[in-house]
Amino acid sequence: MKKLILTIMIAALSYGILSAQDNQTKAQLPSVSVKTLDGKTIKASEFSNEGKPFVICFWATWCKPCMMELNAMAELYDDWQEETGIKIYAVSIDDARTCPKVKPLVSGSDWSFEVILDQNSELKRALGVNNPPHTFIVNEKGEIVWQHVGYAPGDEETLIEIYKKVVKQEEIK
Amino acid sequence: MKKILLAIFLITGSFNGFSQDIFGGKVTGNFQMDFQASKEDTIIGAEKVNEKALMNAFTNILYTNGDFSAGMRFEAYLNPILGFDPQYKGAGLAYRFASYKKDYLEITAGNYYEQFGNGLIFRSYEERNLGLDNAMDGLKIIARPIEGLAIKGIIGKQRYYWEDIWASDDFGLVRGLDAEISLNSLIKSIETSPFQISFGGSFVSVYEKAEDRFIIDQTTGDIFKVNTPENIASGAARMQISYKAFNLNAEYAKKGQDPNAVNGYIFHEGEAAYLSLGYAAKGLGINISAKRIDNMSSKSRRNETGNMLNVNYLPALTRQHAYSLFAMYPYATQVNGEMGIQADVIYKLKKNTFLGGNYGTDLKLNYSRAMSIDQEFVALNPALNYEGTDGYTSSFFKVGDEIYFEELNFELSKKISNTYKLSLMYSYQTFNPIAIGHPGEEFIYANIFAADLTQRLAKKSSLRYELQLLLTEQNYGELAAGNWIQGTIEYNLGGKFFAAVSDQWNYGKENGEKVHYYNFSVGYTHKTSRIQLSYGKQREGIICIGGVCRMVPASNGLFATITSSF
């Protein structure tokens, strides 16, 4: 009986969460401390793009879809920047095991994103990220206006379309 | 219990029904539910499960209002899915905290996660999908009095399934201090210098009530009492230097006498050293890491073995593989003693060159090797074993003569055209079964191959084909079951829907059996919610995330996962 009640509750809760997504209000980036590649501490609430919207991508060196996503975006990044002024924060959740690989991977792959280290997953937890890849668009006021989990080829095109809408301050569905 | 559940249900329900604005603050969180129904399958060794369905679920609810935040996690394991410790059975609030940040001070009461340096002496973290959670329960203070200086203080006990850790003397108290200075942030005149230097130091003490341990000399009948220390201290110092394209990260840690169940109750002091050197230029990245671990298991309960109550974190210096056959023989750090090295080279062949082609080519080379440490055992009274003695002495720079793991792997990724992307990977692995607790078994030598081709179809849909092959001469049972081949085809539509079919075929088993582990899965993603259903067979094996591994028993049946962030 107890199990049944619990199962119903969890099912109802998940339904509530799923259905509530469309009318959610906008959360701000938390003031969680993370590190830059040269060891400096920076707060997530200080992420910015000269008054323009920006993108946050959670990834890890061991995550295959993350590599596909970042490589696909890296290829288009110069064009995107020229066209829209986009900035991408690539937040690595690699822990002490794989963290030393982040810097060589970033430079070896010739990525020009802002790479951030979240070694003990503090920011990942604060933003409710389950698994990488998980992508956010943050508007010029620092509010999270769009997010997406997972990566499939072509998702980068959806991202830039939505980003352009955020720049124009259009309604995001 | 039921009342708490109801309260959470109502609270979260009301958040969803109206708005996420509560008294001016914001509510965010996430949710995951895993559901498994497995039936008996004697061929793959899937055991009979008494329950029709197994379920793990958790939800995090986080409330933030300016400088204040509070959160909780509700977890339910009814019953835990296969591979999770049965002690997880149950449901309740496993994690709750309140935190306040003001100017330079941050105070957290309740549960928290934290890490000092590389984690050699302290790391509190979770790997939810592995059932691993050593959350602290207590108090944490972080002070940043001036820019470039951070001081952390922690005190508390660690989570142990659903036990009431504060009610029992059986769970040790963990206390720690850490300070880190970033010179370039501290001294403004060198802020943009090409030399970037930071260093830090930490101290951790674990208190656990002494217990009377006696050992009997089997030949004379003499009884010896072992004085177990109540306070076990460890300290570490670290630095990180970068100069232009070069960087160096080093940490050294020392631990006092800590006779415990993992090291066989010896009094030998613990030691760990870690060094990493890197070079990063446009299109070329190199990293070389080395470490030495000597008797560094640190738990907040001296009689504990296994994955819980870890105070520190000692990850393996080996590549973490994403392809399943490459991860067939995963290596985990030997906490009682290991010397390891690893090298990575990442190189990009430029586009519009002969070798790079139209789009450039990415090359990755990785080598790793883990060896035993040198050990000179103390004179032994065979009747007493080593318990209660120093156990052994070890020379710092001398490598032991037993090899635990060695791997050389190479990966090439290339965009061929706007339609095709190809990855090729090869690995040669040498695996000593003693690393996963099987001493005396024959070493495993394996050649492993993978090819992975992604094909873009019409806009935003794609197909992915993956083929893997593992070839090994070793074929003596569950551990080394000869050759494997795996094929996968995956279809993606608009980043929302996917369907995949795969078969992992163990075609060269010693007893002549040819076992297929087929699997069908479909998934649907809507923004931050994802549902995935799979049906098929799961091989018995080890799943590793972030350097920690868990045994997954064989299963045959349905598996569903729902995740959501809100």
- Residue B473 CA to residue B444 CA, distance in Å, equals 8
B-chain CB neighbours of A152 within 8 Å are 460, 462, 492-495, 498
- Residue B146 CA to residue B141 CA, distance in Å, equals 15
Whole-number pLDDT of residue A25: 58
- Residue B401 CA to residue B385 CA, distance in Å, equals 22
Q: What is the DSSP letter of B470?
A: E
As a whole number of Å, the CA-based R_g of chain A is 17
- Residue B498 CA to residue B132 CA, distance in Å, equals 29
Pairing type for strands A114-117 and A88-92 reads parallel
Cβ within 8 Å, pair B415-A75: yes
Closest CA to B279 of A119, A104, A89, A116: A104
Cβ within 8 Å, pair B115-A63: no
Distance between A74 CA and the closest CA of chain B, angstroms = 12
Option in A24, A33, A96 nearest B313 (CB): A96
Closest CA to B564 of B533, B525, B534: B525
Q: What is the mean pLDDT of chain B?
A: 89
Inform me whether the pLDDT recorded for B124 exceeds 90.
yes
* Stretch 228-247 of chain B: residues touching chain A, C-beta under 8 Å: 240, 242, 245, 247
Option in B15, B118, B344 nearest A104 (CB): B344
Helix (H, G, I), strand (E, B) or coil at B56: strand
Whole-number pLDDT of residue B462: 93
Whole-number pLDDT of residue B356: 83
Pairing type for strands B399-415 and B392-393 reads unpaired
Which of the four pLDDT bands, split at 50, 70 and 90, describes residue B494? confident
Pairing type for strands B123-124 and B126-127 reads unpaired
Q: Which residue of A has its CA nearest to B458?
A: A154
Other Cβ atoms within 10 Å of B536 Cβ, number: 19
Question: What residue ranges do the domains of chain A occupy?
Answer: 25-167
Whole-number pLDDT of residue B173: 97
Distance between A52 CA and the closest CA of chain B, angstroms = 23
Closest CA to B100 of B115, B92, B91, B110: B110
Q: Which residue of A has its CA nearest to B462?
A: A153
Q: What is the DSSP letter of B312?
A: S
Query: Under a CB-based contact definition with an 8 Å cutoff, are residues A128 and B60 in contact?
Result: yes
Option in A16, A23, A71 nearest B13 (CB): A16
**pLDDT tens across B25-68, in order?**
888 899 999 999 988 888 888 888 888 899 999 999 999 888 89
CA distances from B308 to A30, B22, B87, B503 (A): 30, 36, 11, 34
* Stretch 448-467 of chain B: residues touching chain A, C-beta under 8 Å: 454, 456, 459-462
Cβ within 8 Å, pair A108-B347: yes
Which of the four pLDDT bands, split at 50, 70 and 90, describes residue B540? confident
**Is the CB of residue B250 less than 8 Å away from at least one CB of chain A?**
no
Option in B281, B315, B348 nearest A97 (CB): B315
Option in A17, A109, A155 nearest B348 (CB): A109
Burial class (CB in 10 A: 0-12, 13-18, 19+), B102: exposed
Cβ within 8 Å, pair B185-A40: yes
Inform me whether the pLDDT recorded for B531 exceeds 80.
yes
Which of the four pLDDT bands, split at 50, 70 and 90, describes residue B22? low
Inform me whether the pLDDT recorded for B544 exceeds 60.
no
Whole-number pLDDT of residue A20: 46
Query: Under a CB-based contact definition with an 8 Å cutoff, are residues A91 and B266 in contact?
Result: no
Other Cβ atoms within 10 Å of A14 Cβ, number: 20
**pLDDT tens across B322-364, in order?**
888 999 998 889 999 999 999 999 999 988 888 888 888 999 9
Q: Name residues whose C-beta falls within 8 Å of residue B476's C-beta, 6 or more positions apart in sequence.
A: B441, B442, B510
Inform me whether the pLDDT recorded for B405 exceeds 70.
yes
Inform me whether the pLDDT recorded for B214 exceeds 90.
no
Cβ within 8 Å, pair B59-A13: yes
**Protein fold of A25-167:** Glutaredoxin (3.40.30)
Distance between B327 CA and the closest CA of chain A, angstroms = 12
In this predicted complex, what is the ipTM?
0.90
* Stretch 116-175 of chain B: residues touching chain A, C-beta under 8 Å: 118-119, 123, 125-126, 144, 150
Which of the four pLDDT bands, split at 50, 70 and 90, describes residue B15? very low
- Residue B442 CA to residue B475 CA, distance in Å, equals 10
Option in A13, A27, A146 nearest B28 (CB): A27
Q: Give kind and range of the element (H or E) at residue B7.
A: helix B2-17
Option in B182, B322, B493 nearest A64 (CB): B322
Other Cβ atoms within 10 Å of B268 Cβ, number: 24
Task: Kindly report the three-state secondary structure assignment for every residue of B488-531.
Answer: EEEEEECCCEEEEEEEEEECCCCCCCCEEEEEEEEEEEECCEEE
And the tokens for B303?
């009689």
Q: Name residues whose C-beta falls within 8 Å of residue B452's C-beta, 6 or more positions apart in sequence.
A: B323, B422, B423, B424, B425, B464, B465, B466, B467
**Is the CB of residue B65 less than 8 Å away from at least one CB of chain A?**
no
Vertex A30: Cα angle to A134 and B16 (nearest 5): 70
- Residue B296 CA to residue B310 CA, distance in Å, equals 11
Option in B91, B321, B546 nearest A6 (CB): B91
- Residue B106 CA to residue B112 CA, distance in Å, equals 12
**Is the CB of residue B283 less than 8 Å away from at least one CB of chain A?**
yes
- Residue B507 CA to residue B244 CA, distance in Å, equals 51
Half-sphere exposure of B19 (CA within 13 A, CB side): 9
Option in B17, B322, B495 nearest A155 (CB): B495
Which of the four pLDDT bands, split at 50, 70 and 90, describes residue A170? confident
Vertex B422: Cα angle to B419 and B427 (nearest 5): 170
**pLDDT tens across B436-445, in order?**
888 889 999 9
Residue from B16, B72, B121, B140 to probe the interface with A (highest A Cβ count within 10 Å): B16
Which of the four pLDDT bands, split at 50, 70 and 90, describes residue B379? confident
**Cis before residue A133, ω within 30 degrees of 0?**
yes
Give the residue-averaged pLDDT of B17-24: 54
Distance between B263 CA and the closest CA of chain A, angstroms = 23
Cβ within 8 Å, pair A25-B525: no
Distance between A107 CA and the closest CA of chain B, angstroms = 5
Q: Which of B16-20, B227-231, B462-466, B477-481 has the lowest mean pLDDT?
A: B16-20
**pLDDT tens across B420-455, in order?**
999 999 999 999 999 888 888 999 999 999 999 999
Q: What is the mean pLDDT of chain A?
A: 87
Residue from B30, B149, B251 to probe the interface with A (highest A Cβ count within 10 Å): B30
Please tell me the pTM assigned to this model. 0.90
Which of the four pLDDT bands, split at 50, 70 and 90, describes residue A19? very low
Closest CA to B332 of B370, B289, B294: B370
Which of the four pLDDT bands, split at 50, 70 and 90, describes residue B11? very low
Cβ within 8 Å, pair A120-B113: yes
Cβ within 8 Å, pair B30-A24: no
Q: Which residue of A has its CA nearest to B313?
A: A96
Pinpoint the alpha helices (H) of chain A.
2-20, 64-84, 102-108, 122-126, 155-167
Inform me whether the pLDDT recorded for B545 exceeds 90.
no
Cβ within 8 Å, pair B527-A21: yes
Helix (H, G, I), strand (E, B) or coil at B268: coil
**Cis before residue B79, ω within 30 degrees of 0?**
yes
Whole-number pLDDT of residue B438: 86
Burial class (CB in 10 A: 0-12, 13-18, 19+), B493: middle
Give the residue-averaged pLDDT of A80-95: 95
* Stretch 174-203 of chain B: residues touching chain A, C-beta under 8 Å: 182, 184-185, 196, 198
Option in A110, A126, A158 nearest B495 (CB): A158
Cβ within 8 Å, pair B456-A17: no
Pairing type for strands B231-243 and B223-227 reads unpaired
Q: What are the two backbone dihedrals, phi and then psi, of residue B293, each rounded to the nearest 5 degrees?
A: -120, 125
Inform me whether the pLDDT recorded for B389 exceeds 90.
no
Query: Under a CB-based contact definition with an 8 Å cutoff, are residues B323 and B450 in contact?
Result: yes
Inform me whether the pLDDT recorded for B367 exceeds 70.
yes
Which of the four pLDDT bands, split at 50, 70 and 90, describes residue B14? very low
Cβ within 8 Å, pair B495-A152: yes
Which of the four pLDDT bands, split at 50, 70 and 90, describes residue B221? confident
Of residues B7 and B108, the one with the higher pLDDT is B108
Residue pointed to by tokens 């040669």? B428
